[in-house]
Amino acid sequence: MKRRLRSVRARATLAATVVVAIALVAAGTAVVLSLRFTLTDKADAEADAVARNAASALANGFAYDQLNLPDGDENPVEVLDRDEKPVAVGEDVEGMNVTAAASDRLNSETNDDADDRAEGDRDTEDNDALTTGKITDETWYGEGTATVEGMTAKYRFAAVDVITPGGVPLTVYAGAPLSIEEDAVDVALTTMLIGLPLLLLTVSGVTYVVTRRALRPVEGIRAEMAAIMASEDLSRRVPEPGTHDEIARLAITTNETLAALETSVARQRAFVADASHELRSPIASLRTQLEVGAAHPELLDLDGAVEDTVRLQSLAADLLLLARLDAGERPPPDARFDLARVVAQEVASRDGVTLDSVPSVEVHGSRSQICRVLGNLLDNASRHARDRVAVTLRTAGDQVVLQVADDGSGVPLADRDRIFERFVRLDESRARDDGGAGLGLAIAKDIAVRHGGTLTVTDAPGGGALFELRLSRSGGGRSR
């Protein structure tokens, strides 16, 4: 049972059944109470009418034996004097027992001074309430039993005080049967006791069936995801139901996640393959030179070995930086620095680079990473420029714009997105030693994105390529 309750269907069915059961019990209780109160009020009105009918006759001077009292099995009536002795009794009424201690005289206010005037247990508001040939306005209600023709039953009683024209104080008790109320309440309770389990079974069955149908696509998604994990085939996709509901959106999001994961894995595999290929060349060259040097020390190309080692070290550093960027490395939230100063220092260390910059502008981010972006852009521009490389730093609203332009051949329009991919070089015929590994612009692009900025390439005004880095002056780096 515990394992079954782990199912969403079972939990939903149980929850729906419990909620409906509580609602039905509450509603049934309210119906029974309302029915009981309604029938009790009806019995009170009936008993009050019978009691006042008899009291009216007594107030008009009718003798006790001339009272037209109803049959006792319908409305038992009893007239009591001030000593609570019966002076008139309805037909076939053998006895009445009014037990109204809790509900007696609900519509009146007791008056202790009236106890000396009339009957001690039926108070009135004042001594003027009972006058010659008059009926009191108050009616007292209670429950009790009456025996009629040997049969005892429950009744709802009404009591009315009256004074005859002769000044005799009397109390008229009249009852209305509660059998209708009891029968109606019993029928309602029986109906609920039979109907409630049937309704709960219906609710449980319908909820289970509906929930199973609603969750069937989820099971399909789960099964397909399990198959994808088992086969490691990220090109597969989960089924998307045509219901346009939350489950359909879940399937769409799952497929989008699989697509992104497939792209990421493919990119990672390509990265590993390209990195291995790029590392193999300097390692092989370095090994060859070392083996030659070991066999023939006089032939050792020490400068070449150092150059290959530096290139290998640089490539390893680039790969390590890309790995950190892929892991989501971002600058500290409170890191800020003067970009104008960084640009001025970098340009001053290079020959043939002109600078047009604002005096000072502060940005949020990593100083070393932004300096790496500028260095990569300058290295790329120097390799392609014929005579001139120009750097411009300005502000545009809440953004800082850093531009690096050269007077080379420029970047074809079709390749302006591809050059920011890893290990991509447009001049494939060029020697690798001169062109690098094709990671500089990819690193610059990733750093720009991690800092919440953009890096694009267009045509320079005088010909050549214009690389433009835009950063927010207020910060706010985002993850990709």
* Complete domains list, the chain, with CATH: 1-231 (no CATH), 246-326 (1.10.287), 336-472 (3.30.565.10)
Burial 334-352 (b: 16+ CB within 10 A, else e): eeebebbebbbebbeeeee
DSSP for 191-246 reads: HHHHHHHHHHHHHHHHHHHHHHHHHHHHHHHHHHHHHHHHHT-TT------TT-SH
Q: Please check whether residue 349 is in contact with residue 374, taking contact to mean a CB–CB distance below 8 angstroms.
A: no
- Integer angstrom CA distances of residue 399 from 378, 394, 476: 21, 9, 12
* CA gap 129, 416 in Å, rounded: 107
Taking alpha carbons only, the member of 311, 466, 298 closest to residue 381 is: 466
Q: Is 417 helix (H, G, I), strand (E, B) or coil?
A: coil
Q: List average pLDDT for each run of 10 residues in the chain, which is 480 residues long.
A: 63 88 90 89 91 90 84 84 87 78 37 39 41 80 88 90 90 90 87 88 88 84 89 87 85 90 82 75 80 78 78 81 78 85 92 91 91 92 90 93 92 89 64 61 91 93 91 60
Q: Please check whether residue 475 is in contact with residue 399, taking contact to mean a CB–CB distance below 8 angstroms.
A: no
Q: Please check whether residue 35 is in contact with residue 192, taking contact to mean a CB–CB distance below 8 angstroms.
A: no
How many CB atoms lie under 10 A from the CB of residue 445?
Answer: 23
Q: What is the pLDDT of residue 467?
A: 95
* CA gap 356, 439 in Å, rounded: 27
**What residues are paired with 186 via a beta bridge?**
none
Q: Please check whether residue 176 is in contact with residue 155, taking contact to mean a CB–CB distance below 8 angstroms.
A: yes
269 residue type, one letter: R
Q: Is 480 helix (H, G, I), strand (E, B) or coil?
A: coil
Q: What is the pLDDT of residue 110?
A: 34
C-alpha atoms less than 13 angstroms from C-alpha of 450 in its C-beta half-sphere = 23
Taking alpha carbons only, the member of 289, 284, 286 closest to residue 299 is: 289
Q: What is the pLDDT of residue 5?
A: 52
Is the pTM for the entire model greater than 0.75?
no
Taking alpha carbons only, the member of 187, 7, 201, 170 closest to residue 77 is: 170
* CA gap 340, 131 in Å, rounded: 110
Q: What is the pLDDT of residue 115?
A: 42
Q: Is 83 helix (H, G, I), strand (E, B) or coil?
A: coil
* CA gap 228, 220 in Å, rounded: 12
- Contacts of 195-202 with CB under 8 Å at 24 or more apart are 196/21, 196/24, 196/25, 196/28, 199/20, 199/24, 200/17, 200/20, 200/21, 200/24
* CA gap 358, 371 in Å, rounded: 17
Report the sign of the C-alpha dihedral through residues 194, 200, 203, 204, in that order: negative
DSSP for 252-276 reads: HHHHHHHHHHHHHHHHHHHHHHHHH
Q: What is the pLDDT of residue 240?
A: 87
Residue labelled with tokens 């002076």: 87
* CA gap 237, 312 in Å, rounded: 41
How many CB atoms lie under 10 A from the CB of residue 170?
Answer: 22
Q: Please check whether residue 154 is in contact with residue 143, taking contact to mean a CB–CB distance below 8 angstroms.
A: yes
199 residue type, one letter: L
Q: What is the pLDDT of residue 436?
A: 61
* CA gap 393, 354 in Å, rounded: 11
Q: Please check whether residue 361 is in contact with residue 393, taking contact to mean a CB–CB distance below 8 angstroms.
A: yes
